[in-house]
Structure 1
């Protein structure tokens, strides 16, 4: 079988800014190829293809439907506003296209369940676009968090993702529009914080979510800044803060009975092809309590491909297993997506109910 035949052919549905990054990632992934792009405007699709490395023979369409109707498209990347996900992701699945779906995956878990049902019915792979999950650093972090001798039992997790959006963003970006991305900063930035918390907790769902005091909303009622605390029955606790109104920060602190993990760039690493985290075990002071006798150690993991290309490569690998080897779709990724959405939904409900605790149920 020729190499070009084994590569998974991607169609890009929509020309959002994030699609530039993922189009590059598709080009970099060794088992994927940019095959088509569709926009509501043919001129916009043509300009996007020309500016983002699409090959000369790539198909350019003036509608989303045309990409889904192209029999040569194996998979679609979908960076559409969250309010459009359930419509277009379910249609893509029904047309037999594997779906790489931007986060947040839906406006709520019930909508996401519709997407999952459509993908399962058609036997197609579903994965969300949480890129940092595919960085090799994340696997190394997980190894440390799972090490009973070095980290011990997880007790608390604290995460933060903020960035200072400019006036144009706060006025015009789809993430502040109630009809496009009504989840605001909670869906855009909080998604990453919640995912990091769940990763540290080995994807065990907390029992309750309680929103923090003082959420900030714009005049249209979309969240610009918020946070929450999460609680488990065994006493684990977590907090997170997400905002469009504060300086760029991407932190994880996970504390166990024996160790602590610190990460300062968990979503987008400082450097494209290497990423670090800090780990400490059984930390202590010196005799005079003037310094640490065992400071945290820095662990740096290098990668040949950036994390977004590794995401595309893993997704394409799963699609190829289905296409060429008659494998079943991998359920791990939609399961993780759904748990993230459930926690997000509970935090949103807590804000809407005056910051009261909200139960989280699968």
Structure 2
């Protein structure tokens, strides 16, 4: 019957899956139906630790989740090296795909996923949660208003955190055979995505990594920076730094000809129930340059649900439309993922080439 909740299956018990279990429980149009791990014991342990309802089916393999005829959609928090194979398998089974980011090791792998989703008519979305927060829509109202904000000139983002020693010893992001992108894929994905968002998803004309790349002994990227350019004369530029070696920072600054927008927590809001940003319109220096003519305006945006639950709600709504009403999948989300992946690939190519300028 139309309006029935979307039944999710989760493939893999990574730490982020805990957050999505809660998000699925909070989303009004979704329910967790199945969880699959590499063994039933692992699935049972995850379910017990996270208080999953007894109604959730627990499987000892990933394939068993895909074989469950009641599963409408799957969430895949698997290592990056495994995502393409299992996302393609899910799509071919007719399951809608919510895929953790980075979406793939490179654009060629992502294209395989998107082609499989397109062939099966299933919805694809990556797990970039901040795009679904109402603050993001409010900021876009300002950024897209050229009369008020002006022409985009410069964007900067910093995404860092300093994990404990166990992370550096055991986490998949420290192992290039499991995740070839390290901090660039985990944190740089957000920065690149924010730049594309601010630029109306226009691809940059060129990118270049900066010579500050840090790797571990296995070759995993621990820290890196890059600059992106738009236009033949580089009229607009963006810079980012992402790192596992610095204190938590999630800064985003968007500067145009008539105004600027700043926030300190763009990927994960400091508070779950609301988030804010500062907008400064048409500021000038006062006489003697001893101050500004206007103060930044703090804009507070409340939210009824956490951003991850809003993401699940949006994804489930699209799945319901396809399942119950014969709608077509929403193309916006795979297009955003692919453009983000293309730019990320270009930054990785620049890093591997010794910070060469890479044209898109």
TM range (shorter): over 0.9
2:287 corresponding residue in structure 1: 287
Q: Within 5 A, what are the aligned runs for 1:1-362? A: 1=1, 6-233=4-231, 235-360=235-360
The answer to whether the 8 Å contact 1:216/1:223 transfers is yes
Specify the SS of the correspondent of 1:230: strand
Comparing 178-187 and 288-297, the one that deviates more? 288-297
Q: TM-score, normalised by structure 1?
A: 0.97
**Cα drift, residue 128 of structure 1:** 0.1
Over 3 Å counting, the alpha-carbon distance change for 1:2 and 1:113 in structure 2 is closer
Contact 2:2 2:320 in 1 (8 A): no
Cα offset for 1:261? 0.6
- SS at 1:72 equivalent: coil
Contact 2:251–2:265 (8 Å) recurs in 1:
yes
RMSD: 1.0
* Number of aligned residues: 358
Unaligned runs of 5+ in 2: none
Paired residues of 1:39 and 1:64 also in contact (CA < 8 A): yes
SS at match of 2:342: helix
Range that drifts further, 47-56 or 330-339: 47-56
Ranges in structure 1 where 5+ consecutive residues have no aligned partner: none
Preserved CA contact (<8 Å) 2:96 2:123: yes
* CA distance, structure 2, for counterparts of residue 221 and residue 357 of structure 1: 22
Would the aligned equivalents of 1:35 and 1:54 in 2 still touch at CA under 8 Å? no
Deviation >3 Å, runs of 4+: none
8 Å Cα contact 2:222-2:245 kept in structure 1? yes
- Distance apart, 1:91 and its partner CA: 0.1
Give the TM-score of the pair, scaled to structure 2. 0.98
Q: Contact (CA 8 Å) 1:212, 1:227: kept in 2 or not?
A: yes
User: Tell me, what secondary structure is at the counterpart of 1:219?
Assistant: coil
Helix, strand or coil at the partner of 2:267: coil
